[in-house]
Amino acid sequence: MAFFRTVSLSDAPPAIDGRDVVLRWPDAGDYPAWSRLRDISRNFLIPWEPAWPADDLTRSAYRRRIKRYAEDQRNDLSYSFFIFRKLDDALVGGLTLANIRRGVAQTGSLGYWMGEPYARQGYMTSAVRAIAPFAFGALGLHRIEAACIPSNAASTRLLEKCGFRREGLARQYLCINGVWHDHLLFARLRDDPAP
């Protein structure tokens, strides 16, 4: 059993090919598409995300975000991807494997967001299914965890469709939009059958 990172990703992780999406490392050139998509999706995303800082959509905040992504990846703490539609290379959302824990855990937490114009079209299902081989293979993880607010039926369906099993309820697990919310806990193990 490996107790430390078993891969060496010196810069950006490789692009990951999904059924109808490509996951790739965010870069400075993605700012216009990212800020536009996040802005038009604000009301759609706010109920499911941490509170947005006042400057969240500014270019300087985006540069800080990209810098943090790179630092977290270098330190094997987190791997962030933007999700692009294959058809036209449109940015549709984002996905992160965060809170990577090595040693006896070999676990990471999955988080994701989808722009409102692209919701419920199967893109996130493709992205989550595509990230699993990277997490279990290249990163050597044993377990991927995910959590969602119980009222988020779309996220619950997504996780179950992607082979995650419900494991319980965590009381006041995450602070979402300024309020501590209970979350359903899900996990997928390396040896679980692929959906």
pLDDT digits (tens, 9 = 90+) for 131-160: 999 999 999 999 999 999 999 999 999 999
Is 164 contained in some domain?
no
Angstrom distance (rounded) from CA 173 to CA 75: 25
* pLDDT band, residue 195 (cuts 50/70/90): confident
Is 103 contained in some domain?
yes
87, 20 in Cβ contact below 8 A? yes
Angstrom distance (rounded) from CA 13 to CA 10: 8
113, 91 in Cβ contact below 8 A? no
Is 66 contained in some domain?
yes
28, 63 in Cβ contact below 8 A? yes
* pLDDT band, residue 11 (cuts 50/70/90): low
143, 136 in Cβ contact below 8 A? no
Please give the span between the terminal C-alpha atoms of the chain, in angstroms, as a whole number: 26
Q: Could you list the residue range(s) of the whole structural domain that residue 80 is in?
A: 16-146
Is 140 contained in some domain?
yes
Is 5 contained in some domain?
no
Name the 3-class secondary structure at 106.
coil
Q: Any bridge partners for residue 166, and if so which?
A: 186
Specify burial of residue 123 (Cβ count, 10 A radius: 0-12, 13-18, 19+).
buried
Is 168 contained in some domain?
no
Total domain count, the chain: 1
**CATH assignment of the domain containing 127:** 3.40.630.30
Angstrom distance (rounded) from CA 45 to CA 62: 17
pLDDT score, position 9: 53
- Model confidence over 44-54: pLDDT tens digits? 999 999 999 99
**C-beta atoms surrounding 172 within 10 Å:** 10
Angstrom distance (rounded) from CA 84 to CA 79: 16
Is 179 contained in some domain?
no
pLDDT at 55 over 90: yes
| pTM score, whole prediction | 0.92
Is 178 contained in some domain?
no
**C-beta atoms surrounding 39 within 10 Å:** 11
